[in-house]
């Protein structure tokens, strides 16, 4: 290579290595080649070029080494290229003879040489790697400080252990495999031999650590379904949703908001730790800066180059972090500086980053951190930074990375939230648990509603009047960025004018009525006589508008929802006053965080259940009753008085039905009917069976007193007649009232009567009130109870209709004291009541069985004792789970896990709220594919959970997604669940106990009925109560209940009784029952025989043998105790004639008949006998004569 080429190459190397250096250098000696300069080293370069400093010489020398090695490799590659020369044309003797070649002379063994692409090729990748290793060890590493330098073998020992084979050299390896191998090797060399996950949790630098992989595992599943751990917690909390609580919070509500932030426990621990870096001795802070910044001491970070290098920041990132350079903050030109307390402008309207932009890292204290200093123009120096501000920067950067927010957004978020905590601007800005609680709410709103930091800051602090760089403030973006307005809206604390109000209505998108209501609230809360053009007033007006816009409702609807949550709590003051971010546990009070969270949840619930805000508000808040009826009500009352006349319970109605006259029955039955003939209702009036039993008892008692001289049969007939008329009139009164009110209210008839009871009234009360009014003045001038009743009736009937509540459910709910069973307080509508009704409706709609099954389950389970032995509890639990599994269509194993969480004492689900909570867990499992165990484990996480708990939950979450052999529910109603039940009877036939046997003092026949309860492992269940129920009239059961013994057996004695037939007995245990073997009560078969015969005509002689004249023959069968032989097979025999009818089975009296005719004259003998005892027969003789 010529000198000029050498000089040109060297010049290019200088330009690339050290730009601008070529102009300042002057050659001291003749130009040398690049290789010569490389061999000289840095000392030779500095000697040849006196203006060259050592750092620059080292950079230049490294660049020369790279160029030389690249050239060497290129030459190696060219050395083996198979370039063939063009064949020369030979002439003369050379063309006739074969010339000598290298192969002919030396005969090389080409098979032993390497191919061009082989791994042992001299110019291949392996050779290049080896050359680089040698160059690193022999040239680069010797130049380093032996005390500080880290050699390649120390940094990457894995390189020297690589096996150079075809697979490793030429195979395709993913980048992630290489990274995992490198990290794994590095971690394996750490001291103490800790697990990689543990090591990555304990590392603090760089800021992508601590690496909490369990959070990635959990959210890899939850993100698929747009859920957070906080959402899971709210789904599984018995106190949720929190908008149903008086203080809008529960025991776990704050934990749920914490977990919405997606911050792992290790990161939360760092953010909440007490300050570790103090402005004191440097040696005390050295471990902190080494662990968190990777530097030996704090002063190393005062150089901006080192600061950016250690924190992986670009220059623009540094300026954004410190709010300097292109990001200098300034006050809006449309804000009067004199209205701002403590305002101090830096230059013009520029403000300190400690006022806006970088408030948190400066702790709201002047002077703010900046690059450069007043004494030196060097911008590599960072001024006004101390150890405590470094620690704030560290926490700030970690949080920015975790939330994926820019520095200005995070600063705005933190300052607005912390200001709401302190309610003062001059207090220190410290991240607390309350701060993270609000951040969790922001993350949730951002994920669900796309809420921005600016919108969230308005809710907690107020509208922003500052901006950075070329941006404009949020205030100007709203009020002064529209060309339609010809004047600027200025915040100057002066009285608000009419044009200002119009401007606000236009910007906020509200009408004047909405503004008037918001203005009224704002004046009351802030204690103002008039509204002013101030940041505080504008922010107070804007908060309900912002949140309503996020929720896609109107501001007045938002305030109505707040009113519905607790009409007396005045939660609207949280938005139109000074926001407060504060945790309440014992007090029934809410802060801005709880209120916003409750509004989001109630809006989601309202939308899912297709409820309007007006419906909720009208149902919850007390109704305003119009005291004066209009023509509609008058017409309604007139029709009621006309149409119910024929439905009244009167003496005439009873007389027409056949009840004896001469008695004033309405007076006698005054307990059941009032003076107007309207039937009185009872507390259990919706339950017809209960009312019927109640009425029958009263009628029986009164009729017995009045008609003492009549027979029992006559009294029974009269009682049944009176009861029939009473129930008929009651049904007619209900139907009449329901039908008329249906037209008035526009709701279904079947919701009217339950609504009347729900109002605290009933059909009797309503009818009596209406009929008692004079025709000319239907309503009295006093308290209008009827109009109040109609108002409440409309409200309750709408609730029943909307949630499609079944009559059976309303009967159970309103007819008995079932609050402990249903957990529904029906005194007045509440949000908790409406929410539980909505979940109940969803439960029924998604159930695998009709609603009656669930209501029957609640009725059965409430009858079980609360305590008992372990076997009793196990039996009740298994049976309850079996029934719920059938209803919900969920596996018993999963249901058991949920039941153990809902009812930890014994896993027996007894109440409707418990069932609804299980339904919530079931819904999460269905939507996510997670197991019930995983869902409940996620719920158990809170802000104090350790990393080990999160890891265990993450493992459960991942395991639950794998295909598992889950036992599905059985839809067999007769299934006994986890039990083996057997029944037996000592004898299946008993001898009926007749009067003759009593007289002869013969012992009554009896047998033992037995039920055996065993587990699937054949373990007997001891102490289980078994209730015996006789379904049939036959037989007698002296005892109604017994308990299983050590063998799991429970027995009862069944006596024959005085009536023949089949005895049906059921054994009830827990919430299930099983029929016992059928036992037949019969006569004594061994002594059964025909005891006589009767003929019609009585003396069958001279009967015409015309084939038409009949002789009816009846045989009587009795045993030795004169018991009739019922249902016995009978045989007939005759010596002549023919039977036109022949009975084969005896009737209930033990008789059997046949009809005989004859075509020929003869004396005929008829024999009849029971097939079981043919020797016990009887005969009858019939004489036929010629016709």
**Model confidence pLDDT, tens digit, residues 376-392:** 656 678 888 888 899 99
For the chain, which ranges sit under pLDDT 50? 28-30, 82-85, 780-783, 965-976
Give the three-state DSSP class for 677.
coil
pTM of the model: 0.75
- Cβ atoms of 789 and 761 closer than 8 Å: yes
Rounded Cα distance, 206 and 651, in Å: 96
Please state the φ and ψ torsions of residue 606, each to the nearest 5 degrees: -60, -45
**CATH architecture, domain defined by 1085-1185:** Sandwich (2.60)
> Is 979-1082 a domain of CATH 2.60.40.10?
yes
- Cβ atoms of 880 and 864 closer than 8 Å: no
Considering only CA atoms, which of 590, 559, 358, 615 is closest in space to residue 469?
Answer: 358
- Cβ atoms of 265 and 215 closer than 8 Å: no
Rounded Cα distance, 1124 and 622, in Å: 72
Helix axes 512-526, 535-551, angle to 10 degrees: 130
Considering only CA atoms, which of 706, 575, 592 is closest in space to residue 651?
Answer: 706
Please state the φ and ψ torsions of residue 1088, each to the nearest 5 degrees: -75, 135
Task: Report the run of H or E that residue 687 belongs to, with start and end.
Answer: none
Rounded Cα distance, 843 and 920, in Å: 9
| pLDDT value for 976 | 47
Considering only CA atoms, which of 845, 846, 849 is closest in space to residue 973?
Answer: 849
DSSP 818-832: -HHHH----SS--HH
Sign of the torsion angle spanned by Cα atoms 478, 480, 486, 492: positive
- Cβ atoms of 531 and 517 closer than 8 Å: no
| pLDDT value for 447 | 93
Dig out the tokens for 249 from the structure: 């919070």
Q: How many CB atoms lie within 10 A of CB 102?
A: 8
Rounded Cα distance, 579 and 351, in Å: 25
Rounded Cα distance, 412 and 1028, in Å: 73
Considering only CA atoms, which of 539, 584, 594, 579 is closest in space to residue 420?
Answer: 579
Rounded Cα distance, 188 and 1166, in Å: 110
Instruction: Give me the chain's average pLDDT, please.
Output: 82
- CB-count exposure of residue 875 (10 Å: 0-12, 13-18, 19+): buried
- Cβ atoms of 517 and 556 closer than 8 Å: yes
| pLDDT value for 230 | 92
Q: What long-range pairs does 841-846 form, CB within 8 A, spacing at least 24?
A: 841/803, 841/804, 841/805, 842/919, 843/888, 843/915, 843/916, 843/919, 844/806, 846/888
Sign of the torsion angle spanned by Cα atoms 459, 461, 466, 468: negative
Q: How many residues are recorded in the chain?
A: 1187
Please state the φ and ψ torsions of residue 450, each to the nearest 5 degrees: 60, 40
Rounded Cα distance, 958 and 479, in Å: 51
Dig out the tokens for 63 from the structure: 């660049």
Considering only CA atoms, which of 558, 569, 508 is closest in space to residue 537?
Answer: 508
Rounded Cα distance, 23 and 32, in Å: 18
Considering only CA atoms, which of 623, 678, 643, 616 is closest in space to residue 790?
Answer: 623
Rounded Cα distance, 130 and 121, in Å: 12
Query: If you ran DSSP here, which 8-state letter would residue 626 be given?
Result: P
| pLDDT value for 89 | 61
Q: Which residues contact 837 (CB under 8 A, 6 or more apart)?
A: 799, 803, 805, 824
Sign of the torsion angle spanned by Cα atoms 184, 189, 193, 199: negative
Rounded Cα distance, 694 and 697, in Å: 5
pLDDT one-digit tens code per residue, 898-908: 999 998 888 88
Rounded Cα distance, 598 and 304, in Å: 46
Rounded Cα distance, 394 and 898, in Å: 43
Q: How far is CA 1186 from the centre of its chain?
A: 96
| pLDDT value for 519 | 92
Greatest distance between any 2 Cα atoms in the chain: 171
Rounded Cα distance, 137 and 158, in Å: 16
| pLDDT value for 538 | 93
Rounded Cα distance, 836 and 820, in Å: 14
Rounded Cα distance, 768 and 726, in Å: 17
Beta strands in 903-1033 (DSSP E): 979-985, 989-991, 1006-1015, 1025-1030
- Cβ atoms of 888 and 895 closer than 8 Å: yes
Sheet holding 1049-1055, edge to edge: 979-985, 1006-1015, 1049-1055
Give the three-state DSSP class for 79.
helix
| pLDDT value for 164 | 80
* Angle at the Cα of 1047 from the Cα atoms of 1042 and 1050, rounded to 5 degrees: 20
| pLDDT value for 968 | 43
Rounded Cα distance, 1045 and 1025, in Å: 10
Dig out the tokens for 310 from the structure: 């250690």
- CB-count exposure of residue 815 (10 Å: 0-12, 13-18, 19+): buried
């Amino acid at each position: 290579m010529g000198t000029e080429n050498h000089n040109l190459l060297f010049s290019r190397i200088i330009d690339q290595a050290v730009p601008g250096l070529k102009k300042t250098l002057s050659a001291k000696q003749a130009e040398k080649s690049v290789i010569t300069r490389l061999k000289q080293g840095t000392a030779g370069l500095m000697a040849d070029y006196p203006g060259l400093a050592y750092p620059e010489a080292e950079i230049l020398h490294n660049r020369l080494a790279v160029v030389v090695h690249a050239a060497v490799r290129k030459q190696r590659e060219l050395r083996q290229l198979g370039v063939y020369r063009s064949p020369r044309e030979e002439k003369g003797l050379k063309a006739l003879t074969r010339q000598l070649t290298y192969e002919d002379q030396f005969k090389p063994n080409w098979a032993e040489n390497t191919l061009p692409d082989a791994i042992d090729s001299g110019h291949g990748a392996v050779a290049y790697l080896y050359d680089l290793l040698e160059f690193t060890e022999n040239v680069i590493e010797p130049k380093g400080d032996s005390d500080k330098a880290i050699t390649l073998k120390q940094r990457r020992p894995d390189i020297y252990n690589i096996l150079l084979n075809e697979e490793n050299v030429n195979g395709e390896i993913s980048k992630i495999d290489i990274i995992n191998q490198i990290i794994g090797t590095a971690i394996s060399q750490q001291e103490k031999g800790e697990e990689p996950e543990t090591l990555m949790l304990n590392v603090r630098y760089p800021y992508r650590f601590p690496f909490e992989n369990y959070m990635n595992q959990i959210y890899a599943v939850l993100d698929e379904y747009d859920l957070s751990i906080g959402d899971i917690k709210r789904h599984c909390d018995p106190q949720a949703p929190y908008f149903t609580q008086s203080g809008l919070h529960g025991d776990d509500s704050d934990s749920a908001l914490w977990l919405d932030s997606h911050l792992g426990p290790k990161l939360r621990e760092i953010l909440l730790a007490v300050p570790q870096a103090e402005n004191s001795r440097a040696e005390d802070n050295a471990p902190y800066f080494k662990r968190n910044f990777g530097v030996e001491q704090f002063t190393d970070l005062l150089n901006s180059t080192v600061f950016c290098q250690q924190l992986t920041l670009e220059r623009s990132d540094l300026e954004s972090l410190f709010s300097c350079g292109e990001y200098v903050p300034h006050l809006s030109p449309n804000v009067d500086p004199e209205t701002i307390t403590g305002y101090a402008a830096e230059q013009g309207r520029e403000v300190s980053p400690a006022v806006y932009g970088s408030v948190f890292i400066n702790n709201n204290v002047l002077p703010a951190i900046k690059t450069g200093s007043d004494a030196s123009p060097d911008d590599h120096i960072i001024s006004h930074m101390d150890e405590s501000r470094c620690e704030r920067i560290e926490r700030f950067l970690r949080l920015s990375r975790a939330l994926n927010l820019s520095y200005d957004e995070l600063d705005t978020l933190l300052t607005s939230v912390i200001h709401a905590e302190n309610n003062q601007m001059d207090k220190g800005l410290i991240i607390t648990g309350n701060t993270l609680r609000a951040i969790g709410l922001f993350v949730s709103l951002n994920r669900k509603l796309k809420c921005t930091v600016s919108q969230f800051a308005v809710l907690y602090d107020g509208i922003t009047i500052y901006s950075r760089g070329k941006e404009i403030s949020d205030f100007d973006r709203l009020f002064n960025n529209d060309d339609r307005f010809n004047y600027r809206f200025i915040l100057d604390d002066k009285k608000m004018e009419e044009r200002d109000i119009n401007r606000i209505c236009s910007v906020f998108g509200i009408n004047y009525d909405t503004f008037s209501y918001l203005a009224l609230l704002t004046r009351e809360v802030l204690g103002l006589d008039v509204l002013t053009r101030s940041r505080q007033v504008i922010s107070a007006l804007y908060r309900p508008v912002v949140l309503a816009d996020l929720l896609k409702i109107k501001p007045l609807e938002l305030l109505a929802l707040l009113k519905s949550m607790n009409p007396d709590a005045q939660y609207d003051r949280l938005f139109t006053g000074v926001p407060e971010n504060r945790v309440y546990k014992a007090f029934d009070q809410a802060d801005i965080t709880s209120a916003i969270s409750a509004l989001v949840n109630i809006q989601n619930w309202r939308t899912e259940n297709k409820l309007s805000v007006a419906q909720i508000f009208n149902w919850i808040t007390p109704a305003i009753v119009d005291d004066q009826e209009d023509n509609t009500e008058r017409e309604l009352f007139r029709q009621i008085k006309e149409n119910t006349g024929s439905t009244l319970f009167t003496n005439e109605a009873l007389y027409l039905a056949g009840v004896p006259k001469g008695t004033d029955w309405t007076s006698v039955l005054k307990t059941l009917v009032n003076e107007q003939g309207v039937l009185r209702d009872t507390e259990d009036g919706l339950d017809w069976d209960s009312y019927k039993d109640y009425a029958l008892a009263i009628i029986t008692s009164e009729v017995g007193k009045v008609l003492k001289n009549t027979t029992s049969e006559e009294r029974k007939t009269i009682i049944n007649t009176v009861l029939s008329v009473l129930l008929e009139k009651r049904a007619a009164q209900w139907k009449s009232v329901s039908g008329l009110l249906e037209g008035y209210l526009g709701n279904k008839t079947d919701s009217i009567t339950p609504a009347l009871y729900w109002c605290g009234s009933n059909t009797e009360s309503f009818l009596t009130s209406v009929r008692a009014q004079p025709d000319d003045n239907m309503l009295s001038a006093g308290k209008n109870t009827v109009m109040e009743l109609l108002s409440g009736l409309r409200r309750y009937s709408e609730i029943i209709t909307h949630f499609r509540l079944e009559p059976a459910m309303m009967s159970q709910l309103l007819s008995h004291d079932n609050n402990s069973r249903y957990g529904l307080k029906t005194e007045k509508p509440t949000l908790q009541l409406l929410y539980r009704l909505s979940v109940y409706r969803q439960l029924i709609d998604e159930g695998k069985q009709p609603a009656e099954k669930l209501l029957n389950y609640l009725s059965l389970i409430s009858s079980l004792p609360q305590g008992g032995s372990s076997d009793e509890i196990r039996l009740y639990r298994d049976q309850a789970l079996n029934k719920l599994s059938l209803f919900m269509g969920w596996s018993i194993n999963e249901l058991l896990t949920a039941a153990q969480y809902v009812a930890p004492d014994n896993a027996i689900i007894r109440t409707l709220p418990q069932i609804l909570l299980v339904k919530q867990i079931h819904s999460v499992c269905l939507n996510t594919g997670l197991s019930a165990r995983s869902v409940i484990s996620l719920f158990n996480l809170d802000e104090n959970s350790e990393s080990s708990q999160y890891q265990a939950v993450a493992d459960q979450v991942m395991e639950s997604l794998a295909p598992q052999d889950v036992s599905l529910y059985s839809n067999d109603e007769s299934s006994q669940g986890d039990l083996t039940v057997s029944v037996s009877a000592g004898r299946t036939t008993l001898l009926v106990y007749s009067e003759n046997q009593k007289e002869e003092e013969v012992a009554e026949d009896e047998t033992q009925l037995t039920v055996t309860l065993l587990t699937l492992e054949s373990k007997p269940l001891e102490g289980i109560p078994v209730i015996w129920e006789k379904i049939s009239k036959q037989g007698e059961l002296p005892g109604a209940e017994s308990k299983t013994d050590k063998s799991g057996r429970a027995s009862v004695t069944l006596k024959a009784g005085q009536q023949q037939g089949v005895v049906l007995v059921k054994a009830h245990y827990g919430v299930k029952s099983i029929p016992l073997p059928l036992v037949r009560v019969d006569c004594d078969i061994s002594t059964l025989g025909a005891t006589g015969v009767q003929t019609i005509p009585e003396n069958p002689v001279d009967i015409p043998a015309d084939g038409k004249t009949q002789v009816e023959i009846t045989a009587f069968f009795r045993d030795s105790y004169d018991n009739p032989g019922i249902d016995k097979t009978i045989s007939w025999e005759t010596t002549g004639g023919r039977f036109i009818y022949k009975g084969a089975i005896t009737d209930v009296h033990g008789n059997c008949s046949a009809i005989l005719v004859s075509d020929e004259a003869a004396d005929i003998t008829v024999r009849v006998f029971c097939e079981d005892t043919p020797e016990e027969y009887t005969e009858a003789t019939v004489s036929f004569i010629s016709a």
